[in-house]
Amino acid sequence: MYTEVTNVWESKAATPEEAKSLQLRAQMMIVLRQIICERGWNQKEAARNLGISQPRVSYIINGQVSKFAMDKLLDLLMKAGYNIDVVLKDGVPQFETTVAA
């Protein structure tokens, strides 16, 4: 028998709140990975531009969500030159990014 979930992170998280946090962090990491790829940065360049170590960049590239707190991911997106708006839609956190002027 299978359990149906609406958020893939529900099976890993202890609480629904933790699942939502994991989902939001995963979304932010996907955007960061896209930024790194779009700018043609290798991991060393990304580390220098984002102010983190190369192993931390590797965690982003490989989607290791548990390695980052939400505030750190927000900081990295802002360092990459993006504004972030976080909204709740039906109790599910989502975020939108725009390039900073």
Which domain CATH number covers 95? 1.10.260.40
State pTM to two decimals: 0.78
In a domain, 25, yes or no: yes
**Long-range contacts at 90-93 (CB < 8 A, ≥ 24 apart):** 91/20, 92/7, 92/20, 92/23, 93/20, 93/21, 93/23, 93/24
> Could you give the number of structural domains in the chain?
1
In a domain, 57, yes or no: yes
In a domain, 3, yes or no: no
Domain range holding 33? 16-99
For residue 9, pLDDT beyond 60 = no
Which tokens hold the place of 16? Answer: 């629904």
pLDDT in tens, 31-40: 999 999 999 9
pLDDT in tens, 61-85: 999 998 999 899 999 999 999 888 8
d(CA 31, CA 72) in angstroms, rounded, equals: 14
pLDDT band of 58, cuts 50, 70, 90 = very high
